[in-house]
Structure 1
Amino acid sequence: MFRALFSLLLALGSLIAQANPHPDPATLRSLAEHPYWIALGHYEKPLIGGWRSYVDDPGFFLSERGEHSPLAELEATLVALHADPGLADQHAQCRYPSRTRWLREQLALTDLPAVTCAEYAAWYADIDPHSTVLVFPDAYLNSPSSMFGHTLLRIDSPDMQDHGTALLSYALNFGAMVEQMDNSMLYAWKGLAGGYPGQFSLLPYRDKISEYSSLENRDLWEYRLDLTPEETGRLVEHVWELRQIRFDYFFFDENCSYRLLELLEIARPGLRLIDQFPLTAIPADTVRAVKDAGMISSVNYRPSREKELLARAEPLSSRELVLARELAADTALLEDPAFQQLPAERQALIQETSYRLLRYQAVNRERDSDNAARSYQLLQAINRNPPPRLEIPTPPLPEDGHESRTWQLALGSLDGRDFAEYGLRMAYHDLNDNLDGFPLGAQIELGKLRVRQYEGNHWQLQELGLISIRSLTPRHALLKPWSWQVETGLERVAGKDGRQRLVGHLNGGGGFSWMLNDELLAYSLATLRVEHHPDFAAALSPAAGFDAGLLWRNGAGNLLLEASADYFHNGEIRRHIGLTQQLELDRNLGLRLSARRQFSQLDTPRNEVMLQLRWYHY
């Protein structure tokens, strides 16, 4: 009798143990270091050791030590999953569906209380995730905050896959929480310095299309990923856990692209995408990493509103462009005899160019009844005499351009003194670099270092550039953008007694650029400069000057002919003329030949020639 009762109690205890598992410490430690749990907590291992989460919000963690202890957060989560189901939408099972699903699978948690998560269920059903598209809004020259490009995800439902439109899908975006009074330049600076928190947001995709292609004039590239419905669901499931959760945001590394790579690793465990970006995460490089992982099944290109306008205006003559501009300002010209006498096909092109110009000018302006009336009249004229379909050739894919980090090895001579030069640029592109995938006239460089070794084993720091941006956006008969540049850092300039001095400087300028033909760009900028020079009496010495040049896209690569001058308040005049030709040996390999002549009141003219090998990688 006793044996029978003991056997019954033992069997009952075994069932209870299976229904209410209490993992042993070794199992918990193993789970806490599992790559998927590390991904769910967005943990990394700093160089010093231990753990740190990228999440900069205590509301994300259930344990007070959760930010630095995956094990403590795992233990707190297991306790919370068994809490009173009366908490409903505030229950851990509702707040953390990804953690709940994974721990249920790993530990066979069959005893979890049944909780009704009405808010999460309604949110998930509204999104109805089925497939994922990686969207890359391309760089836009005239906005410092847009010069790297951007990435976001589009979440499509089954209906969109079958017969719907992408405009009804949701866009998943990670971005800096920018204060309204911050301008583009301040955004770029604070973004580099980590001055903003970052958050995920989910909003209609049509709003993002309007923002990027219309308001910011950025081309959109849409990369359909091969994620399954289950994988897309896992991604969206984790996004729920990140609602209103703040991360540190850095323009250079912990940015939109880095965060989205983390989500893709949640969707498909084992991808190991973020390991490829220990220092920087440039959007184009991250798109390339996703492509190299074999995840892209198709690509769609959406040109910006500005590009559509310029493409429609391209076949018009100079006189027709003037007429299109006048027509946008006064639609009464539609009835003018001179316009009516034009061939119907020319009228059609002019009318639509005027309409697109009018809509372009209306962006970022309050609604104007007169503008709306003119748009309607032009639209009626277009309907009566439609132009041919607008065909815009697809440009080279942005991820097919050179990679963002650059190593440089050069041999040269400065007034007969031979030298070797070693350089590194953390990011991204200058006017002479290999052009495929980049717009002509764009430059943004961050973290530039050049060290020289002269004969006799004499070493010196030649340049330490913090940031250099040049936006040479050409003017057009319809559009009149400014060109501008800004640069700061340390560089060598002429000093007294024939010495080359290392000076700190900040300079910038503005002016205009023009396309002289399809491959030749000219620019002229007025400049201002402030520098700290050891041989000057003043701590900070200002100068005014100019910077002008020609940029020619030729069969070998890019050739830049440039002349500049700075006129200082203390009488110093510094002038420079240079010629640089890049030979594009391969997508990620270039050979650059440069010749410079420099003039200064403090020194005799100096001549420098240099041959430089450039290797691009990320």
Structure 2
Amino acid sequence: MKVKAVLLSIAFFIFISPNADSQDYVNSAQLAKTEQWRALLHINMQTEGSALESYVDDANFFLASDGNTNPENELLATIAALKVQDDIQCKFPARTSFLLENIEGLAKEVVPFHCQEYKDWRKKLNTSKVVLVFASAQLNSPSSMYGHTFLRFDPDNVEQGSTYLSYALNFGASVTEGDAGFLYAAKGLTGGYPGHFSANPYFEKIKEYNRLENRDLWEYELNLTQTEIDTMLAHVWELQGINFEYFFFDENCSFRLLELLDVARPGLYLAKNFPVTAMPLDTVRVVQEGDLITQTQYRPSILTELKAQLAMLSDEESELALALSQDIEVLNSESFIKLSKVQQQSVVDSAYRYLRYQNTFNGRPKETTRRSFLLLRRLNENKTKLVIPIEQPGRPDLGHKTAMVGFSLGQNLDKSFAEIKYRGSYHDLLDPMSGYYTGMSLNMVNLMVRLYDGGDVKLEKAELLDIVSLSARNDYFSPWSWKANISVEQQWTMDKEVLVTQGSGGGGVSYQPLENSYVFLLATGRLEFNRKLDTYASVAPGLQAGFLYYWPISTLLVDAEHYQFLFDQTQRSRVSIEQSVELGINDSIRFSANFHRVESNTHENKSFQEFKLEYRHYF
């Protein structure tokens, strides 16, 4: 290794010395500024001078000591290494191809080296097509609510449904074992975890997302040429074992995939669209706008398939399927025997699939496994083929965009006001629903400023986080619904509005009494820091109940909330009615009416109303 280092240093010196071919030197300076070379080093094309810096945080990725900030020195060091160190061709195949193609005469000075390990890897992938995959949100996992993207590499002649032989390329954080809750969030937001690429068989991703996490997959086939695919794969090889800093909101899974597409097709500048945040859903839209997507395939999760199958059953058949999943003797009951053969098969198949779904999360209890086997045997005795139609939902990338600005006019405490609102991301319960899940709300960085009659300007709310997850219960499924909120907001206290800091949350149940509706009841709690309360920090248990209904282009939310503070005698109650109407995929209007009451043993009780009409634009 010492001999190679010395030879590399000598070659580097000779290459940049005055005796070196001047045309080569000029070419190298120009090449260092090209889109392709900057992309191979993961350097933003919009930066220059002292701002130049690679997103890669691993010294093993660079040959020059300042290669992460000086693309020209890194290019020169790579050329020098190619002349004296054969295995550089194997370590950096994409760089090697780029330099040999763009520096005249270099190929004569570099002895071709047979990189068997790299060739075996390429042969195993045998990639002729690249697919961008979006794993949709998981309702009960906050860290998964934004979705996730990765690439799939398909071999030659892959047929629809046989992509289990394909490989998936994923970029993710290496999370320290035991990290959870606040520590996990804090590290993820501040780059506390290293991130790296990993390639696995696609069927493992299907198992992880489709089956274990119940997430639908959207597969977007890309129109990359074979040459572009070869360039991307050569660069992926260069990134093996290389660490990046991982940030949840910008330098994340989606951002890294955009960088790979910029390598494959220089000039796209896809990564430049996200200087602050890179939401997976927004990155899919950028790929669509870059005219890279040729066709889309929807792959429903096992939960989506199961719910579609159960929805086909009549009430009587549904009751029988549930009973059969619990007691195999239902097969001999009169109510089951009187069904037609097709109905019996449908009931048995539904019970079997429901047991398999339960086994995915509850292990494989002996009695449950026995019932599954007996039901499977019964299915095989009757060869009636069941057709389960699954309606494809709206494509997530065609839904409303995730940032939002709103303008409102309203009245509060007999004062008129104008309000401007900004939301960094992502979606709330009343936003246009196409492409999103019903009953889900996830908002980050939500700011509201009001201008009142008379010229008073107030910060109405600065919301860091607001999550609502309404997961409906029925005879088959019993998930919990929950909410969480952290904000600074105006609250009426002692005859005046006071800016307070609060954290609140709760859990409970929700049901769907009508199609496209939710009824929910949550037990809640609130920690509030308010200088006007008897104690600066106070805790309040509470209750929230509501009704949510979706029409095709409109949504109604009626809810009521009550809090009883423990350390003083203050009570707060609120009843709200909100109706939104979609004007277009990225525009809506919303009317809201809020009725408040504040009660206290030490101060005068107060009741007031607020009415507001709001226009929202998503971008």
Tell me the TM-score normalized by structure 2: 0.92
Counterpart Cα distance in 1 of 2:385 and 2:146: 35
Aligned length: 592
Whether the aligned pair in 2 keeps the contact of 1:352 and 1:387 (CA below 8 Å) is no
Residues 154 and 414 (structure 1), Cα distance of their counterparts in 2 relative to 1, 3 Å cut: same
Residue in structure 2 matched with residue 605 of structure 1 by the alignment: 607
Alignment of 1:66-77 (within 5 A): 66-77=67-78
The question of whether the paired residues in 2 share the 8 Å contact of 1:450 and 1:463 is answered with yes
Q: Which moved more, 1:163-172 or 1:256-265?
A: 163-172
Between stretches 59-68 and 423-432, larger displacement belongs to: 59-68
Aligned residue in 2 for 1:309: 306
Match of 1:30 in 2: 30
Quote the offset at 1:317 in angstroms. Answer: 3.6
Moved more, 332-341 or 293-302: 332-341
Match of 1:403 among 401, 404, 411: 401
The yes-or-no answer on 1:333 pairing with 2:334 is no
Structure 1 residues 463-472 or 333-342, which shifts more?
333-342
Cross-structure match for 1:478: 476
- State the one-letter code of the partner of 2:405: W
Please state whether the residue corresponding to 1:474 is helix, strand or coil.
coil
2:267 to 265, 270, 292: 270
Measured against aligned partners, the alpha-carbon deviations of 1:429-458 in whole angstroms (never above 9, x if no partner) come to 000111111111100000111111111221
The answer to whether 1:531 aligns with 2:533 is no
Residue 284 of structure 2 aligns with an amino acid whose one-letter code is V
Instruction: Decide which moves more: 143-152 or 551-560.
Output: 551-560
How much has 1:374 moved relative to structure 2? 2.2
Aligned to 2:374: 377
SS of residue in 2 equivalent to 1:67: coil
The answer on whether the counterparts of 1:327 and 1:334 sit within 8 Å (CA) in structure 2 is yes
Q: Secondary structure at the match of 1:508?
A: strand
Equivalent residues in 2 for 1:73-88, closer than 5 Å: 73-85=74-86
Distance 2:557 2:102 in 1: 60
Contact 1:572–1:600 (8 Å) recurs in 2: yes
Task: Give the corresponding residue for 2:203.
Answer: 206
Instruction: State the distance in 1 between where 2:21 and 2:352 align.
Output: 69
Aligned residue identity for 2:54: S
Deviates more, 1:141-150 or 1:331-340: 331-340
Q: Output the amino acid matched with 2:113.
A: V
2:433 to 432, 435, 442: 435
Matches within 5 A, 1:380-529: 380-385=377-382, 386-496=384-494, 498-529=495-526
Matches within 5 A, 1:43-442: 43-44=43-44, 49-85=50-86, 91-108=87-104, 109-110=106-107, 111-160=109-158, 165-183=162-180, 187-188=184-185, 190-385=187-382, 386-442=384-440
Task: Report if aligned partners of 2:24, 2:103 keep a CA contact under 8 Å in 1.
Answer: no
* Distance (whole Å) between structure 2 residues aligned to residue 454 and residue 529 of structure 1: 28
**Alpha-carbon deviations, 1:260-288, whole Å to 9, x = none?**
11111111111121222222211121111
Report the residue type matching 2:81 in the other structure: A
Instruction: Summarize the Cα distance change of 1:49–1:606 in structure 2 as closer, same or farther, 3 Å threshold.
Output: farther
Distance 1:380 1:181, change over 3 A: same
* Distance in structure 2 (CA, Å) of the matches to 1:520 and 1:206: 35
Structure 1 residues 466 and 166: CA distance shift in structure 2, 3 A: same
Partner amino acid, structure 2, of 1:592: R
Structure 2 counterpart of 1:14: none
Please tell me the residue identity of whatever aligns with 2:617: W
User: What's the CA shift string for 1:164-203, capped at 9, x where partnerless?
Assistant: 8200000011112223434577655543343322111100
Give the C-alpha shift of residue 384 in structure 1. 2.6
TM (normalized to structure 1)? 0.92
Q: Is the deviation greater in 65-74 or in 303-312?
A: 65-74
The whole-number CA distance in structure 2 between the counterparts of 1:317 and 1:325 is 12
Q: Which of 562, 568, 571 is matched with 2:569 structurally?
A: 571
Distance in structure 2 (CA, Å) of the matches to 1:556 and 1:117: 58
Deviation at 1:49, TM superposition (A): 4.4
Moved over 6 A (4+): none
Shift of 1:68: 1.9
Equivalent residue, structure 1, for 2:12: none
Cα gap change, 1:138 to 1:21, in 2 (>3 Å): farther
Q: Output the CA distance in 2 between the equivalents of 1:124 and 1:284.
A: 30
Q: Secondary structure at the match of 1:126?
A: helix
**In 2, distance between residues paired with 1:103 and 1:367?**
56
Give the whole-Å Cα distance in 2 for the aligned partners of 1:21 and 1:344. Answer: 84
CA contact (8 A) 1:407 1:615 kept: yes
Partner Cα distance (1:118, 1:396) in 2: 45
Name the CA shift for 1:237/1:22 in 2 (closer, same or farther; >3 Å).
farther
Query: Contact 1:21–1:107 (CA<8 Å) still a contact in 2?
Result: no
User: 1:383/1:190 Cα in 2 relative to 1: closer, same or farther (>3 Å)?
Assistant: farther
Q: Structure 2: state its 5+ residue gaps.
A: 1-16
Deviations 1:473-519 (A, max 9, x none): 111211111001111021111122x2211111111100011111112
Q: Is the 8 A contact 1:145 1:187 kept in 2?
A: no
What RMSD over aligned residues (CA atoms) do the two structures have, in Å? 2.1
SS in 2 for 1:53: coil
> Any conservation in 2 of the 1:144–1:188 contact (CA below 8 Å)?
no
Give, in whole Å, the separation in 1 of the partners of 2:415 and 2:368. Answer: 65
Give the letter for the 2:451 counterpart: Q
Shift of 1:465: 0.6
Q: Give the secondary-structure state (helix, strand or coil) at the position aligned to 1:379.
A: helix
Change (3 A) 1:360 1:23: farther
Deviations 1:80-99 (A, max 9, x none): 111233xxxxx221111111
Q: Spell out, residue by residue over 1:381-415, the C-alpha distance to the aligned partner (whole angstroms, 9 max, x if none).
A: 22233352111011111111100000111111112
C-alpha distance 488-25 of structure 1, shift in aligned 2 (>3 A): same
Partner residue, 1:41: 41
Question: Quick one: distance in 1 between partners of 2:480 and 2:555?
Answer: 22
Contact 2:493/2:533 (8 A) holds in 1: no
**Which secondary structure does the structure 1 equivalent of 2:148 belong to?**
coil
Please give the secondary structure, in 1, of the residue aligned with 2:95.
helix
Deviation at 1:315, TM superposition (A): 2.5
